[in-house]
Structure 1
Amino acid sequence: MEIIWIAVAYVLGLGASYFGLPPLVGYLIGGFVLGGWGISGGPVIHTITELGVLLLLFGIGLKLDLKSLLQWEVLGIGATHLIALGIGFTLLFLTAKIAQSPALFLSLGLAFSSTVFAAKVLEEKGELGAFHGRLAIGILILQDLVAVGMLVAAENGALSLWTPIFLLCTPLLRLPLKQALTWSGHSELLLLYGLLVALGGAHTFQALGLGTELGALVAGMLLADHSRSEELSKTLWGLKEAFLVGFFLQIGLEGLPNLQDSKWLLPLIIFLPLKAVLYFFLGTLFGLRARTAFLTSLALFSYSEFLLIAAAVGAKNGILPSTWLPSLALLVTISFIIAAPLSRASHTLFAYFERWLVRFERQVPHPDEEPQNVGQAKWLIVGMGRTGTAAYDLLTQRHQRALGLDSDLVIVRQHLEEKRRVVYGDAEDPNLLEKISVNSLVGVILGMPDLEAKLRLSKDLRQNGFQGMLAAMSFYPEEDAKLYENGINLIFHPFNEAGERLAERALAEANSITLKPLPLNPMEKAPIRPPP
């Protein structure tokens, strides 16, 4: 049975990719196809789904900085949006003669945005660490905390007596967990360690009445500032991606509602853009630039999987009629299908609507303000990850004036602490090159991994008259032609050229070594040479 839903997911995911949509849209449709054929996922797909969601949230936790969660923008936008939509939906349902308890329960659920969807899309675009990515994830975590409270209330259960004690002691786990991560090496033990911590955190929080999702997230956050957290995230990446297919399939397997039960579908779909509009205006109200507010609102442009989880718990406990479940499953699916292409094209859409959107910006200092010039720098390195940092250090060692640019404020702060000249800036911001003059630069090195970002920035640089050296990484041969067409002068293939560089250095070192004569074997009267 498993081979059937894997095959359907692959074929429809491939079809979605062919039309420029994320594969997850194909997985969602595949779930409805399987449900129409009468095929159920069974316990296998349920287990895979649970593991996928937990690994995703654990991965988010690995990338989170606690300071970013306590930002005024996160708390202000997240709480205001949740309250405003909760009140609005509640009044709508009460007007439609729905009882108070189910109306309130549904309203809070509909106010949530999808953590799984937003994290997946942001990760695919390499924007989890960007300012708007961290803002979106911070708002989603705030919503997840409210969702956990809803689930506890729906179950009519109380938190364990040990819960407050454990929460107070949670920071004490950081040191032993970090030490164990250091001991785990770089092979299969690292993978097992990640699974152990993610599932251990999930089940511990479940036992305390706090929910598995929150437990996996907190477990990741405890390791977020470890030097090998990124390596752990990459090790778990493939496993998480495969398991998340089950999550999207299972939404569709909930089945289609009948005509009578689907009467709320159209009104709730119409209200979906209002969620994004409210996010945008709240963002500008709290001092964000229009671009950041717009990108954040599109990342949160969906209904949440927590709506389905909460609805199932509510139906089980008599708070909500069970007839709502298929309608809500279809609603969440439709919201994903609408949000996927919008999120994928978010930068292009902002460029198109920019002249109207910037009118809503407040004339205040923006926390996401970008640089106005490059100073006396001769080289600009865009993307200060490992590659960008290595390029920056080599240039400065050779007495070249370099400036780093990164869209992750946490990374910017880390580099500033290490005395590097690095400023905040988003390479996909169409206004970036209008704010800074690049004509004084000798060259620009594009160190970010995302192909679309490299193509867009290189094209913009050439259109703005930049004539200097433009270098970038290429991970796949099929990317080379696109990069050259957009003005790249030099392409570096990290996987191939790392070996070539190693061989060059080995030859250089070998030529500089004076070889000593080997001792003779007294029996054979010939040099004793090491085995090949």
Structure 2
Amino acid sequence: MTMNLCQKLRTSLGVLFITLFVMATPAYAAGGGALIMSLGLLLGSAMLISMVLTRFNQPILLAFVVAGAVGGLVAGSEAAMAIANGPLIEGFAEIGIVLLLFMAGMSVNLREITNRSKLVLYNGIGQLVVVMVVMLLLAGGIIDGIGTEGLFFVAICLSLSSTLVAQSALSYSGSEGSLHGQLAGGIMLLQDLVAVVAIVLLEGQMRDAGGITGMGMAFIKMLVLMAVLSSLSRYVLEKVFKFLSESPELMFVTALGYCMGVAAVCDTMGFSQEGGAFFAGVFLGIIPQKLEIEDKVNPLKTFGVILFFLTLGFRMVTLESGAMGSAFGLAVVLAVIVLVIKPVAMLITGWATRLKGRPAFLLGGTINHCSEFSLIIALICRETGLFSDYVFALVTLTVLFSMFFAAISHLYLGTLYNMLRGSLRFIDKRSSTYELEGDFALENHVVVLSYNELAAEIAGHYAEKGEKVLLMDLDPEITEFFRKKEDSNIVPLYADMEDPDVWKQFAFEKAKVVVSCLVEGQEMELGIAAYLAEHAPDTPFVATTSSHDEALELYEAGVRYVIQTDYLASKSFRKVFEEEMGKSTKEAFLQKGKDHWDATRQIQEDLGAIFKFV
């Protein structure tokens, strides 16, 4: 999925580059077109560099930084300085940051935190505090001539992790739905909120007054803004976007205008325009049309990322002489420390919260880098005078190197865990064990993994025949729903289905049948297939996918039968079509549609709150 997105982005950049170049040439020849030519050449450079970096599984945002730096070098230091301090680059940077934060706010889903509130909060806050303390002590020992406040923000920059890189790693491994994937999503959201608060406080200090007074005023303004935007979304925007839902163009323009309008008003009233854009996105995301709006304006996020990182690379060239060279070696060392200390900190908090070794290690290994928000904070710190050019260069290079190293480490995360698995037993000994309620014989039982409509049919079929069904899922709402059902043969279990220890603990090798209904990702299915092939080759294992390629790979791995959803749906619809084709246009599909509506309504009534997961 990640590679497809990268290919699409490269194609889009290529088209943009060619189009802008053709458009810019006559205008440039006539003495104009500076904006189009500059943007076109920068995007073209980014396209070429991204084609190289994505070959090595690198975040594409690194290509934009490098392209910006190359553009600055080509222009020359004096010309780059003049351009960087001019309205063109300043405007690009501001627009990029505002769009990036607006879309980050739109993507906020508090359910990612509340779903596993204790694990997310304890591990998220605990890991952040541990890393910040280490980074604060480290920065104090190696950076001279910086105040306490500056050291604090250096520690924040190096402690936050990148949502973009973490999401890319989870998507690459197909682990979004795993325990460590879901915890990573919640922790990233938590850190994004911390980053936005830091940006708001920094802006407040720069605008109002220094020290605690400015930060306090900024915090009060933030609370007032949140209250105003919440009321605006609830009583005005919901009706506006409902009216605009039939016009994608108007919805796009209105969302963009709302974003820029809130940012402009906040800037005029002395509040952070970046914070205003973020909270505008957050509260726009609470209206029912959220998904439709996201679908229309999601390209803004990519555009914002491109603009910000291109201009960041351009600005790097304008730093005082020697700043980049002096910071280079130390930045590499700091990036390696970040790469190591974040997983170690997560193992410590995982041990404290009784998390098992596998999800704790994989979680730490997924967020072992610095954040794109760190670059925004560093840029503001430089503008406020908290960071010198050297400190800004050191932090920026450390962030970029950490992303580079982390992207490589993510390719070998599973291998690293297998190598260190024995050393992590001390965490497993303290971790909470998964336990079944009541009397459940772990022999000749039916195991169903991940709850959805397919799992509901399979589990219901076996339960109606008197079979005991062990239903595993990582959503507490689903497991709680089945736990409350009395006299049910479906026994729920909240457990990490990707953990080999779980397969052994709940005797997959003794099961009558093991059925995985997890459609996305297949690493778990491949692992279970190998486990059963070794311990119980006669136990039937059924897996699910929507892909032809994955179906073939699963069969080759030893899966007995693959439920390929698209294949079965097409066969099923062909039968429906044959039944309906002889009817009149007035009657065709009428009864089928009514029956389906009735059946879906019945499922909704039976499942209640968890209907949205099916």
Same fold (TM over 0.5): yes
Scaled by the length of structure 2, the TM-score of the pair is 0.67
Partner of 1:473: 545
Partner of 2:248: 188
Instruction: Supply the distance in 2 between the matched residues of 1:247 and 1:264 (Cα, whole angstroms).
Output: 25
- Kindly report which structure 2 residues correspond to 1:410-421, keeping only aligned pairs within 5 A, or say none: 412=479
Instruction: Supply the distance in 1 between the matched residues of 2:498 and 2:562 (Cα, whole angstroms).
Output: 20
CA deviation map 1:338-393 (0-9, x unaligned): 11122343333222211102224562537xx5879896895544333xxx334423
Q: Structure 2: which amino acid aligns with 1:108?
A: I
Structure-2 change in CA distance of 1:166 and 1:277 (3 Å): same
Partner of 2:369: 302
**Cα drift, residue 301 of structure 1:** 1.2
Partner of 2:223: 164
Q: Structure 1: which amino acid aligns with 2:137?
A: G
Instruction: Supply the distance in 1 between the matched residues of 2:46 and 2:392 (Cα, whole angstroms).
Output: 23
Structure-2 change in CA distance of 1:291 and 1:75 (3 Å): same
Would you say 1:9 and 2:76 are equivalent positions?
no
Partner of 2:474: 407
**Cα drift, residue 323 of structure 1:** 3.8
Partner of 2:138: 89
Partner of 2:126: 77
Conservation of the 8 A alpha-carbon contact between 1:154 and 1:313: no
Instruction: Supply the distance in 2 between the matched residues of 1:414 and 1:174 (Cα, whole angstroms).
Output: 32
Structure-2 change in CA distance of 1:214 and 1:510 (3 Å): same
Structure-2 change in CA distance of 1:270 and 1:498 (3 Å): closer
CA deviation map 1:228-262 (0-9, x unaligned): 76676566656645654555545544436542354
Q: Structure 2: which amino acid aligns with 1:85?
A: V
Q: Structure 2: which amino acid aligns with 1:265?
A: A
Scaled by the length of structure 1, the TM-score of the pair is 0.76
Q: Structure 1: which amino acid aligns with 2:202?
A: L
Partner of 1:329: 396
**Cα drift, residue 317 of structure 1:** 2.1
Partner of 2:498: 428
CA deviation map 1:37-81 (0-9, x unaligned): 449894457635642453244224376344645655146515532
Instruction: Supply the distance in 1 between the matched residues of 2:432 and 2:493 (Cα, whole angstroms).
Output: 16
CA deviation map 1:270-305 (0-9, x unaligned): 432224322322332233222232222223211233
Instruction: Supply the distance in 2 between the matched residues of 1:356 and 1:307 (Cα, whole angstroms).
Output: 32
CA deviation map 1:80-129 (0-9, x unaligned): 325523541353257x4544443333233333333443344345555455
Structure-2 change in CA distance of 1:154 and 1:294 (3 Å): farther
Would you say 1:259 and 2:319 are equivalent positions?
no
Unaligned ranges ≥5, structure 1: 517-532
Unaligned ranges ≥5, structure 2: 1-36, 209-216, 318-322, 588-614
- Kindly report which structure 2 residues correspond to 1:52-63, keeping only aligned pairs within 5 A, or say none: 52-61=100-109
Partner of 2:203: 152
Q: Structure 1: which amino acid aligns with 2:505?
A: K
Q: Structure 1: which amino acid aligns with 2:495?
A: G
Q: Percent identity?
A: 18
Structure-2 change in CA distance of 1:154 and 1:148 (3 Å): same
Partner of 1:507: 578
What SS class does the counterpart of residue 499 from structure 2 fall into? coil
- Kindly report which structure 2 residues correspond to 1:90-169, keeping only aligned pairs within 5 A, or say none: 90-93=139-142, 96-123=144-171, 125=173, 127-128=175-176, 130-141=181-192, 143-144=194-195, 146-148=197-199, 150-157=201-208, 158-159=217-218, 163-168=222-227
Instruction: Supply the distance in 2 between the matched residues of 1:481 and 1:330 (Cα, whole angstroms).
Output: 43
Instruction: Supply the distance in 1 between the matched residues of 2:276 and 2:58 (Cα, whole angstroms).
Output: 30
- Kindly report which structure 2 residues correspond to 1:455-470, keeping only aligned pairs within 5 A, or say none: 455-465=526-536, 467-470=539-542
Structure-2 change in CA distance of 1:186 and 1:44 (3 Å): same
CA deviation map 1:113-167 (0-9, x unaligned): 3344334434555545544324432541453255235423541433386643454
Q: CA RMSD in A?
A: 4.4
**Cα drift, residue 314 of structure 1:** 2.1
What SS class does the counterpart of residue 152 from structure 2 fall into? helix
What SS class does the counterpart of residue 488 from structure 1 fall into? coil
Would you say 1:396 and 2:456 are equivalent positions?
no
Q: Structure 1: which amino acid aligns with 2:151?
A: A
Q: Structure 2: which amino acid aligns with 1:255?
A: M
Structure-2 change in CA distance of 1:169 and 1:60 (3 Å): closer
Conservation of the 8 A alpha-carbon contact between 2:262 and 2:280: yes
Higher helix content, 1 or 2: 2
Partner of 1:383: 450
**Cα drift, residue 440 of structure 1:** 1.6
Instruction: Supply the distance in 1 between the matched residues of 2:586 and 2:222 (Cα, whole angstroms).
Output: 68
